[in-house]
Structure 1
Amino acid sequence: MTAIKKRLFIFVCDIGAAQIIRTVFSKLSAKFAISLCVSQSATNYFQNYPNIPHKVTKTSDEALVQLKTIQPELVLLGTSNQNQIEPHIIKAARQLKIKTVAFVDQWQNYQVRFKQFNKFVLPDKIILPDNNAIQEFKKEVGDHGDLACGGQPYLRSLTLRPSARKVKKQQAKTLFISEPISSTLNRQQIQQIYGYDEKVTFFAILKVLRHLRAKQTLSVKLHPKENKLNRTKSAYHCRYNSFSHQQLMQYDLVIGMASTVLLEAYILGLNVYVFQPQASSQFDHCMLSRYGYLRRCTTSRDLLLSIRQRVRKNRRLDFLKIRDDRFISTIS
């Protein structure tokens, strides 16, 4: 006799959470009867995976209608930055006496992922990528009752794929991974939290590239929530959609501030540089430099020296040892 699966309602808004759900979907389906709802940038992401059934919900009201219609036994949520839909779902699930589990896909911005109207709205259980993230979460948010270490299944999946082949190029190529800092924070917040934004970083990179002997072409990977950089000229190839790993391999240098795409490029063995110009006392939002895998460059001179003295082999990231089964087992 086949056992009846628990009904699991999954809701994700951003690409980081969507990547993890896509990675573990088949394993989750073996354990749960899944109803997947997506919103915002996760909507576009799942359009590329028609084999994964999902429903698009544009507002919190639509998401709550789905929750009440499905009546799941468990709710699994992504934790998007400064989004207000997940807290509504947590509150509604609590009223319906449904357990909620949320997972964090990055090593930063823990507070804003669980705040609504400047008050914490915490699920019953929170899954974090590794023990470093758990300790940082406790310092930033507090000692929440049920914290679990579940790894980062999507990033780990990159280590299981055949190595992408380096693309032969006639000219050196640099990729800047941008983030929507100036469009989501005011000037005072930017100075307090970061010390820099994507525009400051972009023009500082241009200055550095002019000092390199080899002529460089610069491309910009824009975040889905980001408008095009002001004053960006047609010479700089800007794109919103994600890069395939074969496309990433076209670049000699990958430079960014704290984006997860830097982690992807690092795992693929590319020359990655963490550049946070004008940051001094501010917190380092990139785990690669915060945990000592890469140097944190805070001036143009730092970046120029790092590029000239680059290390050829990237160290293996500790969290990649955590298998997907551990992530699945924490969802209960």
Structure 2
Amino acid sequence: MATVAVIAHDAGGAEILSSWARRSGNACLLVAEGPAVAIFKRKCPELTPMALLEAVASSDWLLCGSGWQSALEREAIRVGRAAGKKTVTFLDHWVNYRERFKDGPRLLLPDEIRVGDVDALRIAQAAFPMHPIVLEENPYVLDLLDQIDAIPQRTNKVGNVLYVCEPVAEHAKLAYGDARHFGYTEHDALQFFLDKIHLLNDAVRPIVIRPHPSETAEKYAWALNATEQEISFGGQNTLLQETLAADIVVGCESMAMIVGLLARKRVISSIPPGGRRCRLPHAEIEHLATMGGGRDG
């Protein structure tokens, strides 16, 4: 049994790595910052966060997330390499693969990249054609499927909506120096959804707005006065709990939308016309910008 340093900051990577830690049978040392701290505390309470240098020195190899909100994972790759330890990154999404490894003008790649499905494998092989890429079942998805199968599905569809947010403008500003680089912001997308909610052809009832783990509900308080629909804010329960309580999951291109697909919910992208098209490769996702005869940007 190996000793593995698991290192994460962003929520997406933390969900995968915490599920991996629970399933792997390896001894794990945790380095967590930002949203990852709460995720590991909920899923792996026996792991106590420690300093990066200490974890690297005491481990056999490193398993990292891949975030854009922090340089922690890239620093882990750098430190691991300097210590002669194998470094592995498990990609948690389907977009911005090269940007996740940018270290100034160059790429700082781990020894191995892991992906959790064939779509991610195809995208990663195109982004890193000469790099070792391994397909491994996504442990977070396996956990979700186990939990979904254990919970009876509701049969009374009443049109409840879970709107999942992501800090689009912050990401664009950090990566490209322009908050509107993608042609829209998270506020544009939410406003577009509220304006076009009638296109869903459902008797839409309450809307729960779930901020991204790095955001607060106050950021979206303006939405309370932007529609006649009943709005409340989520985030107090787990993503899966709030997904299962909804009939429709709406967002831009968040991993939370894939959780909606796994839970067999109707899933819709709210990226407005003029914005970059949703890059999630899942054909089941509907696009609000093309409903009612509209055209996607």
The TM-score bracket by the shorter chain reads 0.7 to 0.9
Q: How far, CA to CA, are the matches of 1:88 and 1:110 in structure 2?
A: 17
Matching of residue 253 in structure 1 with residue 242 in structure 2: no
Matching of residue 268 in structure 1 with residue 263 in structure 2: yes
Q: How far, CA to CA, are the matches of 2:27 and 2:245 in structure 1?
A: 40
1:90 deviates by 1.2
1:215 deviates by 5.1
1:52 aligned partner: 46
Matching of residue 294 in structure 1 with residue 294 in structure 2: no
1:195 to 164, 168, 183: 183
Q: Counterparts of 1:292-331 in structure 2 under 5 Å?
A: 292-299=283-290, 301=292
2:134 to 148, 158, 162: 148
Q: How far, CA to CA, are the matches of 2:55 and 2:21 in structure 1?
A: 19
Q: Aligned to 2:23, what secondary structure does the other structure show?
A: helix
Taking structure 1 as reference, are residues 28 and 214 closer, same or farther at Cα in structure 2, changes over 3 Å only? closer
1:38 aligned partner: 32
1:324 aligned partner: none
Q: Counterparts of 1:1-332 in structure 2 under 5 Å?
A: 5-29=1-25, 32-49=26-43, 51-55=45-49, 62-68=51-57, 70=58, 72-140=59-127, 142-160=128-146, 161-166=149-154, 172-186=159-173, 189=178, 191-192=180-181, 194-210=182-198, 214=203, 216-227=205-216, 228-229=219-220, 231-233=222-224, 236-243=231-238, 245-279=240-274, 282=276, 284-288=278-282, 292-299=283-290, 301=292
1:301 deviates by 3.0
Taking structure 1 as reference, are residues 78 and 199 closer, same or farther at Cα in structure 2, changes over 3 Å only? same
Task: Compare 182-191 and 216-225 and name the one that shifted more.
Answer: 182-191
Which amino acid counterpart does residue 123 of structure 1 have in structure 2? P
Q: Is contact 1:130–1:150 with CA below 8 Å preserved after alignment?
A: yes
Task: Compare 197-206 and 155-164 and name the one that shifted more.
Answer: 155-164
Which amino acid counterpart does residue 272 of structure 1 have in structure 2? V
Taking structure 1 as reference, are residues 208 and 164 closer, same or farther at Cα in structure 2, changes over 3 Å only? farther
Q: Is contact 2:124–2:133 with CA below 8 Å preserved after alignment?
A: no
Q: How far, CA to CA, are the matches of 1:242 and 1:104 in structure 2?
A: 25
Q: Deviations over 1:65-112 (max 9, x none)?
A: 4323x2x22111111124211111111111111111111011111012
- Could you tell me the percent identity over the aligned residues? 20
Task: Compare 234-243 and 108-117 and name the one that shifted more.
Answer: 234-243
| Structure with bigger gyration radius | 1
Q: How far, CA to CA, are the matches of 1:135 and 1:147 in structure 2?
A: 10
Which amino acid counterpart does residue 102 of structure 1 have in structure 2? T
RMSD value, Cα: 2.7
TM-score, normalised to structure 2, is 0.83
Q: Is contact 1:200–1:277 with CA below 8 Å preserved after alignment?
A: yes
Q: How far, CA to CA, are the matches of 1:64 and 1:213 in structure 2?
A: 53
1:159 deviates by 2.5
1:287 deviates by 2.5
Q: How far, CA to CA, are the matches of 2:190 and 2:138 in structure 1?
A: 29
Q: Which runs of 5+ in 1 are unaligned?
A: 57-61, 304-332
Task: Compare 123-132 and 15-24 and name the one that shifted more.
Answer: 15-24
Q: How far, CA to CA, are the matches of 2:9 and 2:136 in structure 1?
A: 20
TM-score, normalised to structure 1, is 0.75
Q: Deviations over 1:232-264 (max 9, x none)?
A: 327521233453534322222211111111111
